[in-house]
Chain A
Amino acid sequence: MRLKRLALTLLLIALMTGSCCTGCWNRREPELLGIVLAVGFDYDQERGLYQVFAQLANPIALGGAGGDGGGGGGAGGKKPFWTVDAKGRTPFEAIRNLIEVSSRELFWAHCRVVLFSENLARRGLKDIFDLFERERQFRLIVKPVVIDGDLRQIMEADFPLEETGGRGMDRFIVTTRFERGIFPERNLNELLVVLSQPGQEMLAGRLEVLESEKKSGEKGGEAGIAPPARIGGSALFRGDRMVGWANARQTQGWAFATGRAFRSNFVIESPATGSNVNIEVHSHKAKMSLSGDDKNWKIKMEVKLYGRVTEFDGHEILSDESELTRSLERRAATTARNRIEDILSRAQELKSDIFGFGNLIYRKNPRLWEKIGPRWDEEIFPRLKIDLKVNFVILRAGLIKDPL
């Protein structure tokens, strides 16, 4: 009896609740949303306005392109994505102003990459970071990239193997991470953690826009399209401001030094004949340590790389451990070492501690950091000498032993 009454009461409550809400407050039909695939930010110096580019997926064309087997620009000749841009005094105002030019409400949660123009990066990214942390639709798992070249061009570019540009750039970054180690692949959250901790500076990836894209694109031949962009290299920051570029090799040095490279490739000269040997690094370890007391401290960096011979263009015998393999290891170690030293001197020149040496001191000896922290960027880091040890082990040499 009581159960029956309870059920009745509950039913009544449910009905009443149903009658007071005439619809869902936050109803959003997926087919009415403009899904943003990639977002780019620029800064208009003359007018002092932020400019935002949003690349929207075009579901009609996307479906068509899949159906007819990748024919041209999709169904009805429409591109599978559309890039719009707007300006505003703050990044958020710029985003809101996008509504004026787009026919749909924008949905940002599926955005995978965020692009910054060099112009904006040099001015400072603080406002954008705040927007990404505060706004609910943005995810900090987006991949930040600094664009070397025209932002609009890359936002509108076609990546021949991909349906949309945003997806293309995303794949670009993931592939590079596993194959080359010339791009610092970190999501925005990891980058912001670096920014929030003392004694370290951000290093963001770089995407270089290739000029040839537009011309060959107009000719129309799908097969003849030149790649729209080249990945590799990085932008060094001090605080939230970019201070300079590092090239692909230097970035590889950074990846070795911080233990973030997956595979990397280098060519060294064989010691005997001077012919080329190609060695691929496939795993590595890196360790930084602080030794000594408050007066006499020293930073030691040990990098151990493991690689294999992928190409051997000489006539020597490579079948057993010999002076040759040891010499190859030494040469490979020197090559890696040069790259690390290269990026280190570049970082010191720009006074940007991208390795986090200062952070190492802060973590291991906070009292010492309190003393030297204020002088770190300007005085200590640019003149810092570290004890760098690079070790290379060639583990294997592929399917054959001696060259032909």
Chain B
Amino acid sequence: MEKIANRQLYFILFMIRCNIAVAFLPVLTTADALQDAWISSMVQFFPAALLLLFFGSLGTRFPDLTVTQYSEMLVGRWTGKALSMVILWIFLHMAAIEARTYANMLITVLLPDTPLVFLIGTMVIASAAAAYAGIEVIGRAADLLFPIYLLMIIGSLLIPLPQLQTMLVNLEPVCARGAGPILRGAITPALFTVQYLVLTILAPSTNEPKRALRTAVWALAGGSAILIPIAIVTVAILGPVRGAQTVFPIFGMVRVITLSEFIDRIEALAVFAWGLGLFVEVAIYLYCGAKGLSQVMGLGNYRPLILPMAVIWTAFGIQVSKNVFQLLEFFKPLFFAPYALIIIIVPFTILWIAYFLRRLSRGRSGAP
């Protein structure tokens, strides 16, 4: 069986987490946190970690099984398959939405006439090739890409530093409007933990499956920690009101920074980092989707599923929203929160209940 190191899992999950912030910085744009967005970035970690522990710790009870396997074991064959499909659906949906957001940015800013299918298609094809090559390859790609990714993110946060000192005033007043805006800003980013459902498929593939959950929590912490400077710099440079108005805040911030008259127009950093992160992300979603589906269907190999799935995902990336307004509306807490919560809470509550019932009945009958 193919294995990845826990380090590689960390890199993958870190990039998945961070990429959402690079894409559209939900703490700032989805609600009214404004200048308190950086506090929201801290706050969102706690509910996110709770959710992660909620669905992750069930996996540690079955270190060698993926969610599709242990759900069949726990709740029976057909119910288990149905629950697995709910979880597999979110991989498709998140991959489609994120590829679409990226393509949208490219079209808005760089390539106004290029067809959507081309931009999404190239990204999905590249990711499909990686997924076809297997999880080990994706892991090694993450090993290679993660330092570059982090360097570019940190670079685009360091270059505006000289400008920051006069613009940090934009972060004031701190917490002036009470806790409401801060909490509202934290909702969507906290619920982006749905992305971490990939852990339920990936955990058995790691070297130390029992430590996979711990790795995931650290990745979540790392991804949230980098969110704080991102939020601070973006709000400082663009101002809270304008930052919240932009469609792609990080990109907007990077576009306007200049370092002493000669370093400017460095948006390639942000676009490139985003693209790298998205590649790993979509590859992982595709791999997890195909792997999960092959187990649900009882196929021995997941590879034949990759190509047809890639085609479907490209098509879904185009169909997932009619226009940019729908896409942005989807991430508003009012819509995204119930959606993501249901996806996480419903299947895993059923699984947990089944798990405890099973233990209870086993305990009564005396079997180990």
A residues whose Cβ falls under 8 Å from a Cβ of B: 6, 10, 13, 17, 21, 25-26, 109, 133, 136, 139-141, 174, 187, 189-190, 192-193, 196-197, 259, 359, 362-367
Contact = CB atoms under 8 A, between A and B. Distances in A.
Given A25-B118, A192-B239, A193-B167, 13 more contacts: A13-B125, A25-B111, A25-B113, A133-B242, A193-B238, A196-B239, A196-B242, A197-B170, A197-B240, A363-B172, A363-B173, A366-B176, A367-B176
A362 B122 contact: no
Contact of A26 (B114, B176, B177, B264): B114
A362 B240 CA distance: 14
Nearest to B165: A259
B2 interface: no
B256 A141 contact: yes
Contacts of A136: 108-110, 112
A193 B173 contact: no
Contacts of B109: 136
Contacts of B241: 196-197
B365 to A, nearest CB: 47
Nearest to A356: B169
Contact of A197 (B108, B114, B239, B265): B239
Nearest to B307: A9
B112 A366 contact: no
Contacts of A359: 169
Chief secondary structure at chain A's binding surface: helix
Contacts of B177: 366
Given A6-B132, A136-B108, A140-B255, A189 B114 contact: no
A192 B172 contact: no
Nearest to A197: B239
B238 A139 contact: no
A130 to B, nearest CB: 11
Contacts of A21: 118
B20 interface: no
Contact of B129 (A10, A197, A362, A363): A10
A259 B110 CA distance: 37
B115 A25 contact: yes
Nearest to B125: A13
A25 B114 contact: yes
Contacts of A10: 129
A13 B238 CA distance: 42
Contacts of B118: 21, 25
7 contacts: A26-B113, A136-B108, A140-B255, A141-B258, A187-B258, A196-B242, A364-B173
A97 to B, nearest CB: 20
Contacts of B255: 139-141
Contact of A17 (B108, B111, B122, B239): B122
Contacts of B238: 189, 193
Contact of B173 (A141, A196, A366): A366
Contacts of A139: 255-256, 264-265
A136 B247 CA distance: 12
B258 A192 contact: no
Contact of A364 (B114, B172, B256): B172
Contacts of B166: 259
Contact of B111 (A26, A192, A196, A367): A26
Interface string B114-127: 11001001100100
A6 B133 contact: yes
Contacts of A193: 167, 170, 237-239, 242
Contacts of A362: 173
A26 to B, nearest CB: 5
A187 B258 CA distance: 10
Interface in B163-193: 166-167, 169-170, 172-173, 176-177
A192 B167 CA distance: 12
Given A13-B125, A136-B109, A197-B239, A174 B258 contact: no
B129 A189 contact: no
The 4 closest A-B pairs by CB, nearest first: A363-B172, A193-B239, A366-B176, A189-B256
Nearest to A136: B109
A6 B129 CA distance: 8
Contacts of A174: 261
A197 B238 CA distance: 11
A193 B166 CA distance: 12
A187 B256 contact: yes
Nearest to A188: B256
Interface in B228-285: 237-242, 255-256, 258, 261, 264-265
A13 B111 CA distance: 22
A199 B177 CA distance: 17
Contact of B169 (A133, A189, A363, A367): A363
Q: Which of A13, A109, A189 has most chain B Cβ within 10 Å?
A: A189
Contacts of A192: 239, 242
A365 B255 CA distance: 32
Which of B109, B115, B167, B255 has its CB near the most chain A CB atoms (within 10 A)?
B255
A141 B121 CA distance: 34
A26 B122 CA distance: 16
A25 B115 CA distance: 8
Contacts of B237: 189, 193
A197 B129 CA distance: 48
Contacts of B242: 133, 192-193, 196
